[in-house]
Amino acid sequence: MTDPRVLSQQLLERLASSGELAPAWSDAFAAVPRHQFIPDTIWITRGAELIPVHRAEDPQEWMRRAYGPAAMITQVDDGHPARPGRRERSITSSASQPNVVAGMLDALDVQPGMRVLEIGTGTGYNAALLAHRLGSAAVTSVEIDPDLAEQARRALMTSGYPLAVITADGTRGYPPHAPYDRIMSTAAVQQVPYPWIAQTRPGGKILTPWGTPYHNGALVSFTVNGDGTAHGRIVGNVAFMFLRDQRIDASVDDEECDETTARARHTRVAPYSVAGDYDASLAIGMTVPGCSVIMASDPRAELTGTLWFVDPDTHSWATLRYQPHTRTYPVHQSGPRNLWDEVEAAYHGWCQAGRPGPQRWRITVTPEGQQVTLTETSAIHPAEKHAAGA
């Protein structure tokens, strides 16, 4: 069955029955046809390759995916895809999972009468949901990619949501329509752009995916204060692509990374402990700046492989071999930083602090920069209590 009305109803029922769709957003999800915002060519993963699916060639598969539970890849290589099989092909835009869209809109805590700035229009679907609830005049969306912006603009107009789609760098916000009650980013950041703070009214909120080179998976809600600062706390687990000017360029060059000339040691810290545990990897990312972790499986042996820790800026790297049925793991390090030593120390520090979860971290943004702190408790900052009416 590929009738979009039936598929849309099934999507709505899935989200409602799982409790992932807040009642306040039910009408918007029922009214906005998701497939009208999906480009005619999407991409699927097949092994290490990205394979295009064209609506004209396989309309049933395209429509099924448009209303499916998974995210859809809607752009690769910033709109200029390399030929099939090229290693540099990368995902640069997507339509998020419907349950993630619903969860983020609920976390935005928006109310009728508010003005919203969206950073990262993408397909335009999220902007349409906002416009359905608030009215098109209340929503401004900024998209850095001209092609994506134009596609979204057309889809929004066709669907009856003629909101302002601005082709511009979202890190600068959009001053002409400020101040905003809410700013919502659909791209992750490492550093929250201060213009977002400056363009949000006191008491307003900013919702954005946030991460580090080591850990991309935190949804942070900031409350903006009257003194030009903002306090943020982690309210969810989402992983999004980073803003273009904050992308992380970390890779492994086997020819440059020669373990025979590296510093060698062993550790009793299991690889899963530093890369598979959400709370631990979040803390390590907070503590070890500029370090990315890459997991590489060994195709020759099941359940074995290597964790790579990489800092491109200092040309430092480390490896941690993982394999079953062992209590010690070989480590190799090279470059001016001993990355594994830093990661291991951060992990032990997290354990000694009582293995704090995401609710203990706070992010403060001021005109001078951004600061991350670990609180003694999970208590909400007084400014957040005041904004929430607590």
96 is catalytic: yes
- pLDDT recorded at residue 1: 55
Q: Are residues 172 and 276 in the same domain?
A: no
Q: Are residues 137 and 12 in the same domain?
A: yes
- pLDDT recorded at residue 390: 24
- Residues sharing a CB contact under 8 Å with residue 59, sequence separation 6 or more, in sequence order: 2
Residue 282 lies in a domain: yes
Q: Are residues 53 and 139 in the same domain?
A: yes
Contacts by 226-229, CB closer than 8 A, 24 or more apart: 226/202, 228/197, 228/198, 228/366, 228/367, 229/197, 229/364, 229/365, 229/366
Q: Are residues 174 and 52 in the same domain?
A: yes
Rounded distance between C-alpha atoms, residue 105 and residue 249, angstroms: 30
SS3 332: strand
Rounded distance between C-alpha atoms, residue 20 and residue 41, angstroms: 28
With vertex at residue 89, the alpha carbon angle to CA 88 and CA 94, rounded to the nearest 5 degrees, is: 140
Q: Are strands 216-224 and 72-76 parallel, antiparallel or unpaired?
A: unpaired
Residue 148 lies in a domain: yes
- pLDDT in 10s for each residue of the chain, 390 residues: 579 999 999 999 999 999 999 999 999 999 999 999 999 999 998 877 888 999 999 999 999 999 999 999 999 988 886 655 444 468 889 999 999 999 999 999 999 999 999 999 999 999 999 999 999 999 999 999 999 999 999 999 999 999 999 999 999 999 999 999 999 999 999 999 999 999 999 999 999 999 999 999 999 999 999 999 999 999 999 999 999 999 888 777 766 678 888 999 999 999 999 999 999 999 999 999 999 999 887 655 555 789 999 999 999 999 999 888 889 999 999 999 999 999 999 999 999 999 999 999 999 999 999 999 999 876 554 444 433 332
Q: Do 129 and 36 meet the contact criterion of CB atoms below 8 Å apart?
A: no
Domains of the chain: total: 2
- pLDDT recorded at residue 8: 95
> Residue 236 — φ and ψ, nearest 5°?
-170, 175
The single residue of 93, 96, 159, 185 carrying the catalytic annotation is 96
Rounded distance between C-alpha atoms, residue 110 and residue 99, angstroms: 17
- pLDDT recorded at residue 303: 58
Domain containing 79 — which CATH number? 3.40.50.150
Residue 200 lies in a domain: no
> Residue 44 — φ and ψ, nearest 5°?
-125, 155
Residue 199 lies in a domain: no
**Residue 265, domain extent:** 259-352
- pLDDT recorded at residue 22: 96
Q: Are residues 79 and 165 in the same domain?
A: yes
Residue 26 lies in a domain: yes
Q: Are residues 32 and 169 in the same domain?
A: yes
pTM of the model: 0.91
Q: Do 181 and 118 meet the contact criterion of CB atoms below 8 Å apart?
A: no
Residue 244 lies in a domain: no
Q: Are residues 157 and 14 in the same domain?
A: yes
